[in-house]
Amino acid sequence: MTFQEQILQGIPAELPLKKESIQNPNPAPKRKDILSKEEKQLAIRNALRYFPKKWHSELSLEFAEELKSFGRIYMHRFKPTYDLYARPIEMYPAKSKQAAGIMLMIQNNLDPAVAQHPEELITYGGNGAVFQNWAQYLITMQYLATMTDEQTLHMYSGHPMGLFPSSKEAPRVVVTNGMMVPNYSQQDDWEKFNALGVTQYGQMTAGSFMYIGPQGIVHGTTITVMNAFRKILKSTENPAGKIFLTSGLGGMSGAQPKAGNIAGCITICAEVNAKAAIKRHEQGWVDVLIDSIDELVKRVKIAQENSEVVSIAFIGNIVEVWERFDTENIFIHVGSDQTSLHNPWSGGYYPAGLSYEESNDLIRNNPEKFKIHVRASLVRQANSINNHAAKGTYFFDYGNAFLLEASRAGANVFAENNIDFKYPSYVQDILGPMCFDYGFGPFRWVCTSGKSEDLDKTDAIAMEVLSEIMMNSPKEIQLQMQDNITWIKNAKTNKLVVGSQARILYADAEGRAKIAEAFNNAIAKGEIGAVVLGRDHHDVSGTDSPYRETSNIYDGSKFTADMAIHNVIGDSFRGATWVSIHNGGGVGWGEVINGGFGMLLDGTKDAERRLKSMLFYDVNNGIARRSWARNDEALFAIKREMQRRPDLKVTLPNIVEDTILKDLF
């Protein structure tokens, strides 16, 4: 059977042979055994719904075995035999080009070069699922291959509920992931309902088919490091020879040295796991490997004297570096931490004073003792950071729960009011006010031809459009514009493409729409093939998350999720090709509501009308909310947008003088 025939048949007519062994170089962790006997029966009953009765007795045994071995029913037998990767769009059997674009993006998210646990349909973050099982994948692809532009596929947490009649103007796919009645969003609720096969954790771009590999994280980290230096340096100074000290060379944290090099500073990144450090060095993501603290001190002093731009991986504990640099009086300009403190007790954070192996041994054999070490180490680390901060170091939390866990360990990290932390998070201080409030966020696109020449052409188009916009940009956003132009200029050289021919670029509402319009014109002229537009959910409007994306909202509304819901509804009737809304993602189940979109540009006038309408709303919804929260930068941005588009009318806040409130209560 050809690839096209396999897609069109959905669930195969003949029961595929059982896979005797699964080639799985990176299996997903075994999930919690949380279901009662009756619930396990329900999980099997649920799984068998996808198949004809005549297969039930055979499959029931196999699915029961999967549930026992993995804690989930992945239906491994039904994984297709063809390779999974983003093929050129014409390769997909389809009546709707929009649907073919979605098939391409789904396969990209399951490509073993892109996905973390491809056999279990997990794209990233350990549990970021595209589907719960292979039956859902097969049926979804079949629906997409047969649907028209007057139907919409509704997907409930990976399950394709069905094709419903709609219209050309409606999205082709509506995705929800992990949406729960609010009281059922505890960690164990996910374990239970995912095991039952009725929900999944879509992370951000996993369950919405918009993940594009590590490129996104490098760009975001570069912007963060660059702006951190800007906060503390004079306009005449540059970061060369100045130190950024941090930790972690893992999944996301591994982007830090590369980002530091692009930002132009000395990056020192401590990593306790020698294998992780060596891997990043081999990949060319970090320049120098050092495993002795004395040698590190010597090398750093040389780098400072020569005003070098260099990244150094220190194989050892971050606490050791903070403490030694304090006694050596090595001045750290910018400091952060990217150990996995969202998971402190099972290997996310390795305490000082123990070797990597000793820690792993304690985690297995004496978890309570391990916790004591972690807490003591966090207190030591925070004390040392406080010493550096007293000398002028700018420290920020990188959304990894460092300050939260340090505070729980009893470290001195609270501000004078004993409520807030004494150090800001990266969104509170950097990404929020400097990017999101102005509308700058991680816009992205994928060239559906699969040709790298198309990506080069889109890079050139985007650079030209941004350069033109920058000529008339107000001073408030000149720096952002320049950063994004620099990024796109060097994007190819930075060699970040993994999987589909994709690019990420921070841009505001004006930039996103003008770039997209220019792409659409180039497609119409036959200069490039169709393009899929999208963005990370970690953006201006798509995500309500009180300790991350909306952590710089100070009117008390950061615990509400109206913005994300409006965004998905608003995008859906303004022309998105597909929309998604998820519970969980990044910071955890129940901690965030996040959404995104995808839009296929095919060079038509319809696509032009849609992109203008949808991209404008997709960014300005969030700016409006941020300005209503009295954020200065958002107030500036929304007023400017209202001038640009007189049919935009946003309710603006009146600012109350402190003196009015002072003696009221």
Ligand X SMILES: NC(=O)c1ccc[n+]([C@@H]2O[C@H](COP(=O)([O-])OP(=O)(O)OC[C@H]3O[C@@H](n4cnc5c(N)ncnc54)[C@H](O)[C@@H]3O)[C@@H](O)[C@H]2O)c1
The residue ranges that bind ligand X (CB under 6 A) are 217, 220-221, 247-253, 270-273, 276, 317-318, 338-342, 348-350, 398-400, 586
Instruction: Give the nearest distance from C-beta 447 to ligand X in angstroms.
Output: 25
Q: Which is nearer to ligand X, 248 or 432 (CB)?
A: 248
Q: Which is nearer to ligand X, 27 or 474 (CB)?
A: 27
Q: Which is nearer to ligand X, 254 or 529 (CB)?
A: 254
Instruction: Give the nearest distance from C-beta 193 to ligand X in angstroms.
Output: 23
How far from 601 is each of 457, 529, 573, 605, 608, CA to CA, in Å? 15, 9, 16, 10, 8
Tell me which DSSP letter residue 117 carries: B
Instruction: Give the nearest distance from C-beta 122 to ligand X in angstroms.
Output: 14
Q: Which is nearer to ligand X, 549 or 641 (CB)?
A: 549
Burial class (CB in 10 A: 0-12, 13-18, 19+), 387: middle
C-beta separation of 403 from 335 below 8 A: no
Q: Which is nearer to ligand X, 130 or 315 (CB)?
A: 315
DSSP states of 132-190 as a string? SSHHHHHHHHHHHHH--TTEEEEEETTEEEEEEE--TTS-SEEEEES---GGG-SHHHH
Instruction: Give the nearest distance from C-beta 210 to ligand X in angstroms.
Output: 16
Q: Which is nearer to ligand X, 248 or 622 (CB)?
A: 248
User: Where does residue 590 fall: left (phi above 0), alpha (psi -120 to 50 degrees), or beta otherwise?
Assistant: left
Amino acid at 591: E
Handedness of CA 93, 83, 79, 196 (dihedral sign): negative
Amino acid at 260: G
Instruction: Give the nearest distance from C-beta 259 to ligand X in angstroms.
Output: 9
C-beta separation of 445 from 503 below 8 A: yes
C-beta separation of 97 from 168 below 8 A: no
Q: Which is nearer to ligand X, 393 or 448 (CB)?
A: 393
The first and second tokens of residue 5, run together, are 């025939």
Q: Which is nearer to ligand X, 124 or 209 (CB)?
A: 124
CB nearest ligand X: which residue? Answer: 250
Instruction: Give the nearest distance from C-beta 320 to ligand X in angstroms.
Output: 8
- By residue count, the chain amounts to 665
- Cβ neighbors of 180 (< 8 A, separation 6 or more) are 189, 193, 199, 583, 590
H helices within 498-604, ranges in order?
509-524, 562-572
Q: Which is nearer to ligand X, 354 or 516 (CB)?
A: 354
Q: Which is nearer to ligand X, 70 or 398 (CB)?
A: 398
145: β partners: none
Q: Which is nearer to ligand X, 276 or 469 (CB)?
A: 276
How far from 439 is each of 415, 442, 446, 624, CA to CA, in Å? 30, 10, 21, 10
Three-state SS across 215-283? HHHHHHHHHHHHHHHHHHCCCCCCCCCCEEEEECCCCCHHHHHHHHHHHCCEEEEEECCHHHHHHHHHC
- Cβ neighbors of 313 (< 8 A, separation 6 or more) are 249, 257, 269, 270, 271, 277, 280, 281, 286, 288, 289, 290
272/571 Cα distance (integer angstroms): 44
165-201: buried (b, 16+ CB within 10 Å) or exposed (e) per residue?
A: ebeeebbbbbbbbbbbeeeebeeebbbbbbbbbebbb
Q: Which is nearer to ligand X, 136 or 222 (CB)?
A: 222
Instruction: Give the nearest distance from C-beta 255 to ligand X in angstroms.
Output: 6
Instruction: Give the nearest distance from C-beta 216 to ligand X in angstroms.
Output: 9
444: β partners: 504, 534
Instruction: Give the nearest distance from C-beta 249 to ligand X in angstroms.
Output: 6
H helices within 16-133, ranges in order?
37-48, 56-70, 97-110
In the block, which residue shows the tokens 């006038």? 605
Q: Which is nearer to ligand X, 197 or 248 (CB)?
A: 248
Instruction: Give the nearest distance from C-beta 155 to ligand X in angstroms.
Output: 26
Instruction: Give the nearest distance from C-beta 350 to ligand X in angstroms.
Output: 4
Instruction: Give the nearest distance from C-beta 269 to ligand X in angstroms.
Output: 8
User: Where does residue 24 fall: left (phi above 0), alpha (psi -120 to 50 degrees), or beta otherwise?
Assistant: beta
Query: By C-alpha distance, which of 649, 378, 408, 644 is closest to 514?
Result: 644
Instruction: Give the nearest distance from C-beta 278 to ligand X in angstroms.
Output: 12
Q: Which is nearer to ligand X, 96 or 116 (CB)?
A: 116
Instruction: Give the nearest distance from C-beta 504 to ligand X in angstroms.
Output: 12
The first and second tokens of residue 69, run together, are 């071995």
